[in-house]
């Protein structure tokens, strides 16, 4: 059986996903003992990232074939209303100041990469996939032994949710149907995974 492009990307990304699981910030979330100032800063950066993630989905929706226009509109809607709402409520619990937050270097580099890649439909799908696939996989792994601290457990539960996994699977189907050049897809996906790893280095 021939492996689809999305499955090939999973194989490429697994070592960088393992590096995320070993990162001190992720380990702290998993243990429930990450210092609050670190997570507060991370929440601020991720909030700014997600604002541009909505823009990426919207730009790709404009280019999408009719059969996937609704998928991308749904993803933009879910990110704006669900994921950003979670960030606002969680940020309040950690005392994060979302209004005053400014992008650190990792956030700025990642969002610039995504917005540039979204100029092309297939490239944009591949570039955004590391975030969805990575968080869905991280959530599933961390949920096997969730943190006792309720706020960190809520974060894990969000990304371990089957609904989030289903959204990720929809993107995988769209990537396979878009049939990007395998070499270019591998390069974009690897770059996205490296941005994901760098994002855990909280400013």
The CA–CA distances, whole Å, from 165 to 14, 116, 137 equal 17, 26, 8
**3-state SS string over the chain?**
CCCCHHHHHHHHHHHHHHHHHCCHHHHHHHHCCCCHHHHHHHHHHHHHHHHHHHHHHHHHHHHCCHHHHHHHHHHHHHHHHHHHHHHHHHHHHHCCCCCCCCCCHHHHHHHHHHHHHCCCHHHHHHHHHHHHHHHHHHHHHHHCCCCCCHHHHHHHHHHHCHHHHHHHHHHHHHHHHHCCCHHHHHHHHHHHHHHHHHHCCCC
Domain count, the chain: 1
State percent of the chain over pLDDT 70.
Answer: 98
**CB-based burial label for 92 (10 Å; 0-12, 13-18, 19+):** exposed
CA-closest candidate to residue 88, choices 37, 43, 34? 43
Backbone angles phi, psi at 104, to 5 degrees: -80, 175
Report how far residue 105's alpha carbon sits from residue 4's, in angstroms, rounded to the nearest whole number: 34
Residue 58 has pLDDT above 50, yes or no: yes
Residue 1 has pLDDT above 50, yes or no: no
pLDDT of residue 43: 95
What whole-number distance in Å separates Cα of residue 113 and Cα of residue 108? 9
pLDDT digits (tens, 9 = 90+) for 71-92: 999 899 988 988 888 889 989 9
CA dist 89 and 126 (Å) reads: 30
Rounded distance between C-alpha atoms, residue 129 and residue 180, angstroms: 13
Reading the block at residue 168, the tokens are 């990720």
What is the model's pLDDT at position 86? 83
Any idea what the CATH number is for the domain that residue 35 is in? 1.20.910.10
- In terms of residue numbers, what domain contains 149? 5-199
Cα separation, 18 vs 197, in Å, equals: 10
pLDDT score recorded for residue 202? 83
- Confidence at 3, pLDDT banded by 50, 70, 90: low
Provide, rounded to the nearest whole percent, the portion of the chain with pLDDT above 90.
88
| Residue 82 pLDDT | 84
Contacts of 52 (CB under 8 A, 6+ apart): 111, 114, 115
Q: Tens digit of pLDDT for each residue in 159-191?
A: 999 988 998 999 999 999 999 999 999 999 999
pTM for the model = 0.94
């Amino acid at each position: 059986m021939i492996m689809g492009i999305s499955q090939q990307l999973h194989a490429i990304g697994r070592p960088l996903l393992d590096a995320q699981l070993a990162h001190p910030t992720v380990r702290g979330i998993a243990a429930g003992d990450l210092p609050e100032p670190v997570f507060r800063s991370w929440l601020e950066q991720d909030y700014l990232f997600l604002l541009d993630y909505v823009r990426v989905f919207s730009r790709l929706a404009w280019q999408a074939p009719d059969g996937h226009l609704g998928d991308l509109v749904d993803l933009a809607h879910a990110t704006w209303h669900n994921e950003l709402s979670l960030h606002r409520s969680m940020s309040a619990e950690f005392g994060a100041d979302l209004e005053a937050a400014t992008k650190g270097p990792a956030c700025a580099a990642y969002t610039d990469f995504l917005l540039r890649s979204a100029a092309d439909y297939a490239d944009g799908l591949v570039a955004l996939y590391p975030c969805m696939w990575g968080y869905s996989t991280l959530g599933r792994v961390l949920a096997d032994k969730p943190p006792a601290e309720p706020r960190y457990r809520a974060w894990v539960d969000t990304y371990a949710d089957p609904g989030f996994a289903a959204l990720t699977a929809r993107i995988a189907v769209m990537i396979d149907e878009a049939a990007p050049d395998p070499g270019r897809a591998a390069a974009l996906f690897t770059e996205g995974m490296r941005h994901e790893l760098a994002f855990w280095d909280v400013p």
